[in-house]
Amino acid sequence: MLTRFANPQRFVRLASWLTPVLGISAGIALALGIWQSFASPPDAEHGETVRIMYVHVPAAWSAMAAYTGIAVASLISFVWRHPLADIGARSLALPGAAMTALSLITGSLWGKADWGTYWQWDGRMTSVLILLFIYIGYMAIWQVVSDRKRAARLAAITAMIGWINIPIIKFSVDWWNSLHQSATVSSPGAPGLAPEFLAPLMTMALAYTLLLAWFVMRNMQAEVAAMRRARRPAPVATATIEAM
């Protein structure tokens, strides 16, 4: 699998059909998810604000998934110097940061409606804010370091160290007393979510995942195309050499 996609040509062939499929299915899942979110009944305890959850929870999930993806791709890029891995890691950064910002914004709106405060200095909220700063720092390394190969290695080191924040986010609600509710969907033995709330949540989670994958594939295609273009000699220069 790793060596198979060491050849960018294979990746380009795969991306040419996979990217549109991902984009279209993301659109369909998103439309279905939004319809489901408004068709579902309001919650007995939280009222209409429960609909914020359908935007907030998948955003937080995909923000963490995107960062984990960056860390894994960085490891592959660092150890095997895989040419596509650092492009993949770089492509995940901007959508991941956007998802983090979205989950922070929707989370604070939920907090105002439900807890009476936009922000609380507890483990979950603080660690997600730290994640946003780690994303910004990671993208800044790519911006600042001009040499591409060096930037890839330095960014990979940054991404792998920053990953220690992900388990902190995951377990922050168990480690600290928080206003934020603890894991409801994933923990075994938890009361879980009623099916009428779970269905839109799962559709939205699928839609976010497809959307993230589509963003990444589009960005990787663009990066590969840009690299090829940079490698091709400028037509004017060749003409002068031939003339001489």
Partner 1 sequence: MIGALIKRELRLSLRRGSSVVLPLTFMALFVLLCGLALGGSRPELGPGLLWLAATLSVLLGLERLYQPDQASGALAQLHLAGISSVSIAVAKACAFAISTLLPLLLAAPLLALILGMSGGQITGAMLSLVIGGPALIAYASVSAALLCAQRGSAVLSVLLSAPLLIPVLIFGVEAAQSYPTLGLGAVQFRILAGLSLLALALGGPATAAAISANRGPA
Choose the binding region for partner 1 from 16-24, 45-53, 98-106, 159-167 (rule: CB under 8 A): 159-167
Q: Does 165 bind partner 1 (CB under 8 A)?
A: yes
Q: Does 173 bind partner 1 (CB under 8 A)?
A: no
Q: Which is nearer to partner 1, 130 or 206 (CB)?
A: 130
47 backbone dihedrals φ, ψ, rounded to 5°: 70, -145
116 backbone dihedrals φ, ψ, rounded to 5°: 85, 10
Q: Which of 73, 104, 134, 166 binds partner 1 (CB under 8 A)?
A: 134
Q: Does 242 bind partner 1 (CB under 8 A)?
A: no
Distance between CA atoms of 81 and 75, rounded to whole angstroms? 9
Distance between CA atoms of 14 and 25, rounded to whole angstroms? 17
| Closest approach of partner 1 to the CB of residue 143, in Å | 9
Choose the binding region for partner 1 from 142-150, 193-201, 214-222, 227-235 (rule: CB under 8 A): 142-150
DSSP 8-state assignment for residue 233: P
Q: To 10 degrees, what angle do helices 8-39 and 83-114 make?
A: 10
Q: Which is nearer to partner 1, 22 or 152 (CB)?
A: 152
Nearest to 11 by CA among 83, 68, 93, 71: 83
Per-residue tokens: 9: 């040509």
Choose the binding region for partner 1 from 5-13, 16-24, 138-146, 207-215 (rule: CB under 8 A): 138-146
43 backbone dihedrals φ, ψ, rounded to 5°: -75, 150
Q: Does 157 bind partner 1 (CB under 8 A)?
A: yes
Beta carbons within 10 angstroms of residue 41's beta carbon: 10
Question: Which residues in this chain contact partner 1 in the complex, by CB under 8 A?
Answer: 78, 126, 130, 133-134, 136-137, 140-141, 144-147, 150, 153-154, 157-158, 160-162, 164-165, 168
